[in-house]
Amino acid sequence: QVQLQESGPGLVKPSQTLSLTCTVSGGSIRTTSYYWSWIRQSAGKGLEWIGRIYGSGNADYSPSLKSRVTISVDTSKNHFSLNVSSVTAADAAVYYCARSWNGHYYYMDVWGKGTTVTVSS
Amino acid sequence: EIVLTQSPVTLSLSPGERATLSCRASQSVSSTYLAWYQQKPGQAPRLLLYGASNRATGFPDRFSGSGSGTDFTLTISRLEPEDFAVYYCQLFGSSLFTFGPGTTVDFK
């Protein structure tokens, strides 16, 4: 059974780069059946999709974040990563990674537990 | 970019009652691109329905989904205590995912 686990610093200073990793266990990140997504949720708010990456490295990003976001994949470590540059208080959120089906239907069926990121000096 | 709206914002009901949640897209979409999630406090979202009407693993048949075009509905036929949560609809289009703002189902 595939499981996802987010990791990374819980505190980032304004203007710096937020870096998180999602480790995939119980399955290969190289599978052609799935994409791997990042989603965030600010306190008391709804869900915001950040972007997704395929095992081959092809990525798609939310237009609203595209200029500051990079998602990469390391197949040797079976993990994928998120970088958000020039962070502000608006980037403080719970960050989730999720597996998204690459097929007829489009949904995210396996989620990590989430990791909280605070932006403060 | 397609925008999703959900209504009502909050639905206050009692166990045993029927819940009807709406998700509306700003333009017509294929139902294969529409999913619903359930989120409880302090937990990650959990896939509930995909393809607008297909239940995900672990959810009982009191949950059902319907709709087409721009209007989609999640129905919980008889609310159980564990169903009180926030429900989000999600759409895929133009290589990106979009979530609705959510509907909170809480105790009356």
Closest by CA to A30, choosing from A69, A100, A78, A97, is A78
Tens of pLDDT, residue by residue over B4-17, are: 999 999 999 999 99
Residue pairs spanning A and B at CB distance below 8 A: 68
More confident residue, A94 or A31: A94
* Alpha carbon distance A47, A50 (integer Å): 10
Q: Which residues are CB-neighbours of B73 under 8 A, at least 6 positions away?
A: B20, B21, B22, B23, B65, B66, B67
- Rounded to an integer, the average pLDDT of A106-117 is 97
Q: What band does B94 get if pLDDT is binned at 50, 70 and 90? A: confident
What is the reported pLDDT for A104?
A: 86
**Closest residue of chain A to B5, computed from CA coordinates:** A46
Q: What band does A98 get if pLDDT is binned at 50, 70 and 90? A: very high
Average pLDDT along chain A: 96
- Inter-chain touch B35–A61, beta carbons under 8 Å: no
Q: What band does A32 get if pLDDT is binned at 50, 70 and 90? A: confident
Determine the straight-line distance between the first and last CA of chain B, rounded to whole angstroms: 36
Phi and psi at B71, nearest 5°, equal -120, 125
- Rounded to an integer, the average pLDDT of B73-87 is 98
What is the identity of the amino acid at A47?
L
- Partner-chain residue, chosen from A96, A104, A108, that has the shortest CB–CB distance to B47: A108
Tens of pLDDT, residue by residue over B11-67, are: 999 999 999 999 999 999 999 999 999 999 999 999 999 999 999 999 999 999 999
Contact residues, chain B, for A61 at CB < 8 Å: 96
List residues of B whose CB lies inside 8 A of any A CB.
1, 32-33, 35, 37, 39, 43-47, 50-51, 54, 56, 88, 90, 92, 95-102
pLDDT above 90 for A56: no
What is the reported pLDDT for B75?
A: 98
- Partner-chain residue, chosen from B1, B33, B101, that has the shortest CB–CB distance to A106: B33
What is the reported pLDDT for A102?
A: 82
- Partner-chain residue, chosen from B32, B33, B44, that has the shortest CB–CB distance to A96: B44
What is the reported pLDDT for A103?
A: 84
- Rounded to an integer, the average pLDDT of A89-110 is 94
pLDDT above 90 for A59: yes
Tens of pLDDT, residue by residue over A8-19, are: 999 999 999 999
Q: What band does B90 get if pLDDT is binned at 50, 70 and 90? A: very high
- Burial class from Cβ neighbours inside 10 Å (0-12, 13-18, 19+) for residue A120 reads exposed
- Inter-chain touch B96–A100, beta carbons under 8 Å: no
Contact residues, chain B, for A105 at CB < 8 Å: 32-33, 35, 50-51, 54
- Lowest mean pLDDT across A18-22, A86-90, A102-106, B88-92: A102-106
